[in-house]
């Protein structure tokens, strides 16, 4: 497929998602100028048809005005990159931050660039490593004019209408949401919606993990357990004598179940390849969006116990609560002489 309105775009950041965004855009006929500190990544994109830039200055020089620059960078690198770009761009140019920046930073950055007439657009981008083929869900914030100008870019990156069946109750015939991209509001709105999207993702992932964990240990009654004052006995061990194939459960949940989803698809694939998930330690990172979602919930006085619990579960997975546990053990030892059990 080739778009009727090809555009030129500068891409800064050629990690897994940045490179695939470029590939998807070039497939659709857009011209891409690319830059990354990793020259090998730049060379690879050049071999695939992109124009290579050796620096941000070179990238700005190679773009036609009004210039459009997309940043696909870790949140901590966006501000210094933007500061440098601000000296290279001119009135009418647009910068899109397609990473996972904090929406409050977007508001400040839009204000930083506005006096020079440079447009700032925030774009929450969801799709991960699968986005090249599936397309990327885009949640966009910014002024109407630059968002409208960039519509051919967003349309090429998004999944389009073919990926999901029409929503039965939807009567609206306008808007781009059915095509997988949405202008959510002014500066910061796109990353705000993406932030909450990732918070929801935390909760969904935690629920799937907990559910499969309960199924995995449904054979607890078949295993011998130490019985002493420090161990709660298993009530009715005869009720927990199921050796259930967790990988097969994940597979059957994919087929018509209420909880069927892309996340279940992914975990079913991982379990099919390694039923014990031996390559994973269970230490789960959090990149910021879950924390920011919880902070927003507190500010808005909106109860969010599932997302909050899922965030704290990630902290626990990294043993950030270790000292808390040590304090608890110390208190039990002091008031009751309870010794810690190994394992």
What are the residue numbers of the active site?
A: 194, 201
Q: How many helices (H) and strands (E) does the chain have?
A: 14, 8
Residue 44 tokens read as 């690879």
**Strand stretches in the chain, DSSP E:** 8-12, 31-35, 51-52, 68-71, 94-97, 119-126, 137-141, 181-185
The backbone torsions φ and ψ at residue 325, rounded to the nearest 5 degrees and listed phi first, read -65, -35
Alpha-carbon span 319 to 170, nearest angstrom: 45
Q: How far is CA 86 from CA 57, 119, 220, 250, in A?
A: 11, 10, 61, 49
Residue 317 tokens read as 């997975």
What spatial distance separates the first Cα and last Cα of the chain, rounded to whole Å? 58
- Convert 286-322 to b/e letters by CB count within 10 Å (16 or more is b): beebbbbbbebbeeeeeebeebbebbbbbeebeeeee
Residue 65 tokens read as 């005005």
């Amino acid at each position: 497929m080739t778009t009727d309105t090809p555009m030129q775009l500068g891409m800064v950041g050629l990690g897994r998602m940045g490179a695939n965004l470029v590939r998807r855009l070039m497939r659709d006929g857009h011209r891409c100028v690319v830059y990354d500190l990793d020259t090998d990544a730049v060379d690879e994109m050049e071999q695939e048809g992109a124009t290579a830039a050796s620096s941000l200055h070179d990238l700005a020089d190679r773009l036609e005005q009004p210039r459009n620059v997309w940043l696909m960078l870790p949140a901590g690198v966006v501000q210094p990159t933007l500061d440098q770009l601000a000296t290279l761009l001119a009135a009418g140019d647009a910068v899109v931050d397609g990473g996972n920046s904090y929406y409050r930073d977007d508001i400040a950055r839009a204000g930083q660039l506005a006096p020079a007439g440079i447009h700032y657009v925030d774009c929450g981008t969801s799709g991960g490593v699968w986005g090249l083929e599936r397309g990327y869900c885009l949640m966009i914030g910014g002024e109407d004019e630059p968002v409208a100008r960039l519509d051919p870019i967003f349309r090429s990156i998004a999944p389009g209408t073919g990926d999901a069946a029409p929503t039965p109750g939807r009567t609206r015939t306008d808007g781009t949401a059915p095509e997988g991209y949405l202008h959510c509001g002014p500066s910061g709105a796109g990353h705000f919606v993406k932030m909450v999207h990732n918070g929801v993702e935390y909760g969904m992932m935690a629920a799937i993990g907990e559910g499969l964990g309960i199924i995995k240990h449904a054979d607890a009654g078949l295993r011998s357990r130490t019985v002493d004052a420090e161990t709660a006995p298993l009530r009715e061990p005869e009720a927990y004598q199921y050796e259930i194939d967790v990988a097969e459960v994940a597979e059957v949940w994919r087929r018509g179940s209420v909880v069927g989803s892309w996340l279940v698809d992914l975990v079913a694939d991982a379990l099919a390849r390694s039923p014990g998930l031996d390559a994973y330690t269970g230490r789960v990172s959090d990149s910021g969006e879950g924390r920011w979602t919880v902070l927003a919930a507190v500010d808005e006085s909106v109860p969010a116990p599932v997302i909050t619990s899922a965030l704290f579960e990630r902290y626990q997975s990294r043993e950030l609560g270790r000292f808390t546990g040590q304090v608890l053990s110390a208190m039990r030892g002091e008031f009751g002489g309870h010794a810690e059990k190994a394992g």
